[in-house]
Amino acid sequence: MTEPRWLTTDEREAWLRLMAVTMLLPSRLEAQLKRDAGLTHFEYYVLAMISESPGKSMALTQLAARTNASLSRLSHVIGRLEVQGLLTRCASPRDGRTSLATLTDAGWAKVVASAPGHVEEVRTVVLDPLSARQVAQLSDICGRLLATLDPDHGLLGLDSGRPAG
C-alpha cells in the first residue's frame, strides 16, 4: 500500500471539529425532541416531511429519499407511528405498489406542537453562536460537501420540486 497523504495540522483540526459536531449535534436534537415531544429525531423528521407535502401525504419511496432512510427502516418506523395514531397507511389509487403515509389530525397537531421547540433548539446550538457571515459560509461549505455526499440531492428534495424543512 502506497504512503497515504496524511492530514496537515489545520486539516486535522478542522476534521476533528467537524466530526465532534456530527457526533454531538444529533444527540442534542434527539434529547430535546425525546424530552419535549416523545419523538426520536428521525420520527419528527418523517412527520415534518409529510406535513409539508401537499395533502399531508407521501409515498414511502419519496419519503425515504428525503429522510435518507432505507425502505425497510421507514416501513418499521411508519408502522410505529401508525400504531401511535399519528398517520395512516393506504394504498395509492394510481399504483398498487406504492403505499401512501398520510398524517392524521393528531399527527399534524404533533408536528405543530413540537416544531417551535425544535426550531428553538436549532437556533441555540447552531444559528445563534454564528455570525450571519458564518451562516452563509456554512451553507456554502455544506453545499460543496453535499455534491459528493448526495449527488442527486435527494435529501434536499430538489428533484421533486418541493422545499424541505
Partner DNA sequence: GGCGTTTACTTGAAGCAACAACTAAAAGTT
Partner DNA sequence: AACTTTTAGTTGTTGCTTCAAGTAAACGCC
Cα 80 → chain centroid? 18
> What whole-number distance in Å separates Cα of residue 132 and Cα of residue 125?
15
Q: Binding to its own copies by residue 119, rule CB under 8 A?
A: yes
CA-to-CA separations, 74 to 37, 47, 81, 113, in angstroms, rounded: 20, 12, 10, 23
CA-to-CA separations, 151 to 19, 126, 144, 158, 165, in angstroms, rounded: 21, 25, 10, 11, 19
Contact range with DNA by CB under 7 A, out of 6-14, 66-74, 111-119, 139-147: 66-74
Residue 118 CB neighbour total at 10 angstroms:
20
Q: What does 11 bind: its own copies, DNA, none (CB cut-off 5 to 8 Å by kind)?
A: its own copies
Around 64, how many Cα atoms within 13 Å sit in the side-chain half-sphere? 16
Q: What does 61 bind: DNA, its own copies, none (CB cut-off 5 to 8 Å by kind)?
A: DNA
Identify residues 5-24 at the interface with its own copies (CB under 8 A): 5-7, 10-18, 20-24
Q: Binding to DNA by residue 50, rule CB under 7 A?
A: no
Contact range with DNA by CB under 7 A, out of 6-14, 96-104, 106-114, 135-143: 96-104
User: Nearer Cβ to its own copies, position 102 or 154?
Assistant: 154
> What whole-number distance in Å separates Cα of residue 148 and Cα of residue 7?
19
Q: What does 14 bind: DNA, its own copies, none (CB cut-off 5 to 8 Å by kind)?
A: its own copies
Minimum CB separation of residue 54 from its own copies in Å reads 19
**Element housing 120 (H / E):** helix 105-122
Binding-site size, its own copies (CB under 8 A): 59
Q: Binding to DNA by residue 69, rule CB under 7 A?
A: yes
**Element housing 4 (H / E):** none
Interface ranges with its own copies (CB under 8 A) = 1, 3-7, 10-18, 20-28, 68, 115-116, 119-120, 122-127, 129-130, 132, 134-150, 155-156, 164-165
